[in-house]
Copies of this chain bind each other. A is one copy, B any other.
């Protein structure tokens, strides 16, 4: 009787799965609406446009009253994991501002979750992983099937692509190997990332093993997002700032290069042409190396001087993205416009995607975001 019930349940499950797959493939067969505003994609590929494209890291987040409203009903990860809700959050900033891109509402810590780690989003604290990774429990990571457990991100992207109606391109994204390693070992944010760095100094082999696993999962995750409709993807190495040139050369650059190489190779086979973006916050010590990693766009954090970076990358085959200080959004309107104009002048308008130099802060003024976006679009390119 027990065996029969199990068999029956399995059969029902298989049938449901088949049905879901069928519906999915039917959806996938229906082509996505054609892209109307292709400014950002063109500039990422080094082509000319009428105006500079602009978007904002974390644009679909805590500074928006309507997102706070949504958060009163659902937890952070409920929104991530429910395609309809993730789509809703993704579209929120586009209803307010004349942005040139959407970015799927998600989080870099969905990968540690898919690997079997618990991630909680604690109010006022940020992400907390109550059982951090240790050398001893590292083998517990559930690598097998991790990417398929991230199917919900793919689904959210597909849903959002249709909902966007081709208005602007949709970003997919992932955390970089070192950044994810940092959170997994520290059990959350840290002022120094010293526990994770301790691995780099004391356990180089285990570190490389972990970074290899993450590189593999990130590659497949980016491909999953691209297959499901992401038109550009960004890799966030938000914790680059905790390392120096030596460590970054050893434990970051090879993995970032491998991700770009493998994603590019695999999408070439499918004849898709999706630009890749790398944003390594605080990697001032490895700025020059970012150019040759295989990414089309290099994100620049706000601590870097646009003039210096502009000169450094002039005539190189990459687009720059950045880098207004998120705190500049606190400034009076006229001052904000002045700073935006000055930054663009210093970068130079060739191959530039305008953005902040870090994710927008929760207390940012919504009106200031509008001022910033409109100021960028006021510039007519020859």
Contacts and interface: CB of A to CB of B under 8 A. Distances in A.
Interface of A: 189, 191-192, 194, 197-198, 200-202, 241, 243-245, 247, 282, 284-285, 302-305, 325-328, 330-332, 335, 357, 361, 363
Nearest to A202: B330
A327 B282 CA distance: 18
A253 B6 CA distance: 73
Contacts of A194: 326-327, 330, 361, 363
Given A192-B361, A330-B202, A331-B202, A325 B282 contact: no
Contact of A304 (B200, B247, B285, B305): B285
Contacts of A192: 326-327, 361
Contacts of A189: 191
A327 B243 CA distance: 10
Closest A-B pairs by Cβ, 10 of them: A197-B327, A201-B331, A198-B330, A201-B330, A245-B305, A284-B284, A244-B303, A194-B361, A202-B330, A194-B327
A192 B328 CA distance: 13
A241 B244 CA distance: 14
20 contacts: A192-B327, A192-B361, A194-B326, A194-B330, A194-B361, A197-B325, A197-B327, A198-B327, A198-B330, A201-B327, A201-B335, A241-B241, A244-B304, A244-B305, A244-B325, A247-B325, A282-B303, A284-B303, A285-B303, A285-B304
Given A192-B361, A197-B325, A244-B302, 15 more contacts: A192-B326, A194-B326, A194-B361, A198-B330, A200-B327, A201-B328, A201-B330, A201-B335, A202-B330, A202-B331, A241-B241, A244-B303, A244-B305, A284-B303, A285-B305
Contacts of A305: 244-245, 285
A197 B198 CA distance: 32
A363 to B, nearest CB: 7
Contacts of A241: 241, 303
Contacts of A285: 284, 303-305
Contacts of A332: 202
